[in-house]
A and B are shown apart, each in its own frame.
Chain A
Amino acid sequence: MLTADLVIAVRRKEELTLPALTGKLGDGVRFWAEQVLDSARGCVGLPRQEYTALVQVMGETMKERRIARGLSKLLEDACDFDEANPEESTALRRELFLTATQSRQAGSVDSGWDRGAVVEEVCAKLGFDSSRLDAQLYADLPGAQRLLKVPNWTPEELVTIYDSARIQAVLLRAVQVRVSYRRTTALQLRALFRQLKFRRLLHQSERVGEQGLCLTIDGPYSLFESVTKYGLQLALMMPALCAAGPFELQADIQWGVRREPLRFRHVHNLESADASSPGRPQEQAEYPDELQQLLTELSDIPSRFEVIPATSLIDLPGMGVCVPDLTFIDRSAPDKRIHFEMLGYWSRASVWKRVELVQTGLLEPVLFGVNQRLRVSEEVLDRKASGALYVFRGRPNAKTLLERVERLASRECD
């Protein structure tokens, strides 16, 4: 990963921007990509330090040096290196240092100390060629590792990798990120939320239009202080953010040695989003097996409801959005919809959060599937509430689920 100190960025008032890699700058980056690749390929079979020494002198200005080092860092991360046998060097050092200590202890200020004699004695003892001594003494240090293989990238490919890496490098300094999706799906969001949970990040969400959503992402401690502690996790979120569809990102960052508070914006694929069909991004998300099976079972049971994977988000005014898994559409009145969200079996607190939400009033009826292991009773919500709990044992039963949906739907008609 590119580090923030290797990024060329432009500061305008309170905003940090990454200059587009076009025109003179684009030509420059491509030139250095070529130099870096050529240097690495020329160093195959040589110690790593030979390659790094070549890169260190690349570039006249600080800007050029930074570009060359950034490109080189990304390339070096992808190269294969051979680690010398550390045992051989360690044994050589041990023998040399022990012998040197003994010879010093035996000597005096008048007689001095003879390095050559120590080297000769040790090399004779180990059967080691003394001309190789300097190279072998610290051959196990990273700088001495031999470069074995350089990725088969073209300069253009390296520039493309560099271009994406710059955004992650800026996010390493982020304290909070706001991401706006014009169009996304429940499945994509579920995948995104799983990633957020995995990375122990928290978010607040706000619905924008029919299929859009704005997410504010940071960490639990951000409530008290703006810290870059979550920067790495936010940077690592980039692939998951991209997989959830085209977006516009705004990050609050702390930049430079003085950690100046700045704003950074980035747009991902918005042009393609305007042209693409609404269903396209959904193909990228995976539907969990458990829900897929439930969907199949529900489809096999004759019912007045058509069951589809949920595609819309439900507004929770003042609290964000709810992301259901399934939507039951009344065939006789397609406007009437009941949503179903299956909750995980590990968090009782999340059930109580849903209960609180229902009690404050949902705009659309939702049935929440709750595993019996969470020890929550269905009666916790009264019969007139805008949502209900379906407590199941093991896994949800399709027939019972449909009954509960019917019950909730009839409650809505009352």
Chain B
Amino acid sequence: MGAHTSAPPPISLRYFAGTLEVQGLNSDHSWGDEFAASLKWDARSRCWRCPGYLYADVVKWLVRSGKAFEDKACAYERLSLVYEAQGRIARHYQRLALDAWLSEGARGVVVLPTGAGKSLVALLAIADKQRSALVVAPTLDLVRQWYDLLKTCFSVDVGILGGGEFDIKPLTVTTYDSAHLHVEHWGHRFGLVIFDEVHHLPSPSYQLAARFSLAPFRLGLTATPERLDGANAIIDELVGPVVFRRDIVEMTGEFLADYETVRLEVQLSPEEREQYDEARRVYLEFTRSHGIRFNGPSGWAQFIQRAAGSREGRRALDAYRKQKNLAVAAAAKLQILSELLIKHGKDRCLIFTLDNLTVYGISRQFLIPAITHQTKVKERSEILARFLDGSYGAVVTSRVLNEGVDVPEANVAIVMSGTGSVREHVQRLGRILRPKDGKRAVLYELVTSQTAETKTSERRRDHLAYR
């Protein structure tokens, strides 16, 4: 126990619930206004406060201005990790990506196509910085994959936050959901944060995971950085700028598998067509009579709002859903799927749908394992392991396997239905592009002709990967 003191404490930094508290600075701003915009006086706790992510800036400022301070905020460790490549030899472009990131102060985003080895850049970053590191990934499947990768390459215990686990270790993996829910409890325990599929970060809730973290070193990974909402500035602010970029066409053949994309149009049956036309008439009549235009930004919200108000509106909403379901789940698509599954009986097929109902329908009809958000982690792992070793030839899923899951053996993707998102479609293609000797991948896209789905398909194919 130390001696009793009569002197007020010196400047001290403390992490509190995602923010940095600075005690011991005069409350009158007499210490200068360099941080006036970031540090704010908090009368609730009688201290200065800033968001956690400004920790490195505050420390640099204190050091620069020669102020003595006690750092009770930082709780991350310096590590002595030994990186074991395990056959993963860094390629030239991966080394360049690391150098570019380091030259930006170990902050920034690396853009590489799916299958080009973004995760290896992250492993090199962890080995270089030697600080407690957190990997944030969008899905539990990716968490599981990162967990295996970190454990294998650094031979240490790896922590998991999320999916019912709360185990923090110097190397830890979590989901964006868990990160934003709990970051205030452990945002000071990691010096390096890796945001896998960083394009998820700008959502209002997820970005708090980055704002509440002290980590001075930040790495973002993505194949598809552009966001339609223009929120890339948030990634710049919280992670850093794009420091390295290679596009899919630059790498196909040498670093990614060769591929082709095949668009197969199917027809509605006469009964389906009749039902489709009738449902479409009902909902279009409603929208026209209420002046609702779907090409505006608030068209859909306006439709929902108007539909809520009356029986006629509810009928229009039901009709909208019915015509959409008929288009995305036309019986002819299932017939084509049946043929493709036989044709590719000896390949590894990933089947993608828009919704879980269709996933379970296909699983039951074709006796194919399904992975949805409801599939327990243990069973997911088993399904993917069997898919990898070839005892399962196909897996059907909705969106949970869109991103990042590493199955190099997968060489056929069958898109039964999807959204109009270019990113989603590119990511689905990416699932079959992991290079392997002699591999040629094929992506089939099934589209019901003369329905609204044809426009959806055109929108999502608006990427050079499909030209």
A residues apposed to B, CB below 8 Å: 60-63, 86, 90, 93-94, 96-101, 104-105, 107-109, 112-113, 115, 118-119, 134, 137-138, 141-142, 200, 202-204, 219-221, 223-224, 227, 229, 257-259, 319, 348-349, 352-353, 355-356, 372-373, 375-377, 379-380, 391
Structural contact, B19 and A220, CB atoms closer than 8 A: yes
**Chain A residues within an 8 Å CB radius of B341:** 104, 113
Closest to A374 in B: B4
**Chain A residues within an 8 Å CB radius of B382:** 94
**0 or 1 for each of B355-392: is its CB under 8 Å from A? (1 = yes):** 00000100111111100001010010010001000011
**Chain B residues within an 8 Å CB radius of A118:** 367
Structural contact, B369 and A60, CB atoms closer than 8 A: no
**Chain A residues within an 8 Å CB radius of B310:** 61
Contact partner of B314 among A62, A220, A356, CB < 8 A? A62
Structural contact, B345 and A375, CB atoms closer than 8 A: no
**0 or 1 for each of B14-27: is its CB under 8 Å from A? (1 = yes):** 10111100010000
Contact partner of A113 among B23, B40, B342, CB < 8 A? B342
Number of A-B contacts (CB under 8 A): 130
Structural contact, A376 and B44, CB atoms closer than 8 A: no
Known contacts being A104-B393, A108-B342, is A220 close to B308, with CB within 8 Å?
no
Structural contact, B392 and A86, CB atoms closer than 8 A: no
Contact partner of B40 among A62, A137, A224, A259, CB < 8 A? A224
Q: How far is the CA of A112 from the CA of B364 in the complex (A)?
A: 17
Structural contact, A377 and B4, CB atoms closer than 8 A: yes
Closest 10 CB pairs of A and B: A62-B308, A100-B367, A377-B4, A202-B44, A104-B345, A220-B19, A101-B393, A200-B17, A380-B6, A377-B6
**Chain B residues within an 8 Å CB radius of A224:** 40, 50-51
Q: Is B36 an interface residue (CB 8 A)?
A: no
Structural contact, A134 and B42, CB atoms closer than 8 A: no
Structural contact, B368 and A90, CB atoms closer than 8 A: no
Structural contact, B369 and A93, CB atoms closer than 8 A: yes
**Chain A residues within an 8 Å CB radius of B369:** 93, 97
Structural contact, B338 and A109, CB atoms closer than 8 A: no
Closest to A133 in B: B364
Q: How far is the CA of A75 from the CA of B5 in the complex (A)?
A: 58
Q: Is B29 an interface residue (CB 8 A)?
A: no
Structural contact, B301 and A105, CB atoms closer than 8 A: no
Structural contact, B367 and A379, CB atoms closer than 8 A: no
Binds A, one of B205-213, B223-231, B269-277, B438-446: B205-213
Q: What's the minimum C-beta distance from B416 to chain A, rounded to whole angstroms?
A: 18
Instruction: Classify chain B's interface size.
Output: 35 or more
Structural contact, A220 and B42, CB atoms closer than 8 A: yes
Q: What's the minimum C-beta distance from B82 to chain A, rounded to whole angstroms?
A: 38
Q: What's the minimum C-beta distance from A24 to chain B, rounded to whole angstroms?
A: 16
Structural contact, A352 and B42, CB atoms closer than 8 A: no
| Residues of B374-428 contacting chain A, CB below 8 A | 374, 376, 379, 382, 386, 391-394
Q: A113-B341, A141-B374 are in contact. List 20 more A-B contacts (CB 8 A).
A: A60-B311, A63-B308, A97-B368, A97-B392, A105-B393, A113-B338, A137-B364, A138-B363, A200-B184, A202-B45, A204-B43, A204-B44, A220-B16, A220-B42, A221-B17, A223-B42, A224-B40, A229-B205, A349-B23, A355-B8
Known contacts being A221-B17, A377-B4, is A115 close to B367, with CB within 8 Å?
yes
Closest to B8 in A: A352
**Chain B residues within an 8 Å CB radius of A353:** 45-46
Structural contact, A61 and B19, CB atoms closer than 8 A: no
Q: Offer 24 A-B interface pairs, CB within 8 angstroms, sorted by A.
A: A60-B311, A60-B314, A97-B392, A101-B391, A105-B345, A105-B346, A105-B393, A109-B343, A113-B338, A113-B342, A115-B366, A142-B374, A200-B184, A203-B44, A220-B49, A221-B17, A221-B51, A223-B19, A349-B9, A349-B14, A349-B47, A352-B8, A356-B46, A377-B6
Q: What's the minimum C-beta distance from A112 to chain B, rounded to whole angstroms?
A: 7
Structural contact, B1 and A375, CB atoms closer than 8 A: yes
Q: What's the minimum C-beta distance from B452 to chain A, rounded to whole angstroms?
A: 22
Q: Is B351 an interface residue (CB 8 A)?
A: no
Q: What's the minimum C-beta distance from A96 to chain B, rounded to whole angstroms?
A: 5
Q: Is B309 an interface residue (CB 8 A)?
A: yes
Q: How far is the CA of A259 from the CA of B203 in the complex (A)?
A: 13
Closest to A62 in B: B308
**Chain A residues within an 8 Å CB radius of B19:** 220-221, 223
Closest to A134 in B: B364
Q: How far is the CA of A352 from the CA of B44 in the complex (A)?
A: 14
**Chain A residues within an 8 Å CB radius of B301:** 257-258
Known contacts being A62-B307, A63-B308, is A107 close to B342, with CB within 8 Å?
yes
Q: How far is the CA of A391 from the CA of B344 in the complex (A)?
A: 80
Structural contact, A223 and B40, CB atoms closer than 8 A: yes
Q: What's the minimum C-beta distance from A235 to chain B, rounded to whole angstroms?
A: 15
Structural contact, A223 and B49, CB atoms closer than 8 A: yes
Q: Is B77 an interface residue (CB 8 A)?
A: no
Q: What's the minimum C-beta distance from A294 to chain B, rounded to whole angstroms?
A: 23
Q: How far is the CA of A63 from the CA of B392 in the complex (A)?
A: 47
**Chain A residues within an 8 Å CB radius of B40:** 223-224
Known contacts being A101-B392, A138-B360, is A61 close to B308, with CB within 8 Å?
yes
Q: How far is the CA of A118 from the CA of B309 in the complex (A)?
A: 50
**Chain A residues within an 8 Å CB radius of B9:** 348-349, 352
Closest to A106 in B: B345
Q: What's the minimum C-beta distance from B346 to chain A, rounded to whole angstroms?
A: 6
Q: What's the minimum C-beta distance from A134 to chain B, rounded to whole angstroms?
A: 7
Structural contact, A221 and B5, CB atoms closer than 8 A: no
**Chain A residues within an 8 Å CB radius of B342:** 104, 107-109, 112-113
Q: Is B89 an interface residue (CB 8 A)?
A: no
Q: Is B3 an interface residue (CB 8 A)?
A: yes
Q: Is B237 an interface residue (CB 8 A)?
A: no
Q: Is B339 an interface residue (CB 8 A)?
A: yes
Structural contact, A376 and B17, CB atoms closer than 8 A: no
Q: Is B32 an interface residue (CB 8 A)?
A: no
Q: Pick from A86, A220, A380 the residue with the most CB of B within 10 Å.
A: A220
Q: How far is the CA of A375 from the CA of B43 in the complex (A)?
A: 25
Q: How far is the CA of A224 from the CA of B363 in the complex (A)?
A: 49
Q: Pick from A62, A141, A373 the residue with the most CB of B within 10 Å.
A: A62
Q: Is B164 an interface residue (CB 8 A)?
A: no
Q: What's the minimum C-beta distance from A329 to chain B, rounded to whole angstroms?
A: 30
**Chain A residues within an 8 Å CB radius of B360:** 138
Q: Is B2 an interface residue (CB 8 A)?
A: yes
Q: What's the minimum C-beta distance from B295 to chain A, rounded to whole angstroms?
A: 19
**Chain A residues within an 8 Å CB radius of B393:** 101, 104-105
**Chain B residues within an 8 Å CB radius of A101:** 391-394
**Chain A residues within an 8 Å CB radius of B50:** 224
Q: What's the minimum C-beta distance from B44 to chain A, rounded to whole angstroms?
A: 4
Structural contact, B17 and A86, CB atoms closer than 8 A: no
Q: How far is the CA of A224 from the CA of B23 in the complex (A)?
A: 18
**Chain A residues within an 8 Å CB radius of B2:** 375
Q: How far is the CA of A107 from the CA of B393 in the complex (A)?
A: 13
**Chain B residues within an 8 Å CB radius of A105:** 345-346, 393
Contact partner of A376 among B4, B42, B314, B392, CB < 8 A? B4
**Chain B residues within an 8 Å CB radius of A204:** 43-44
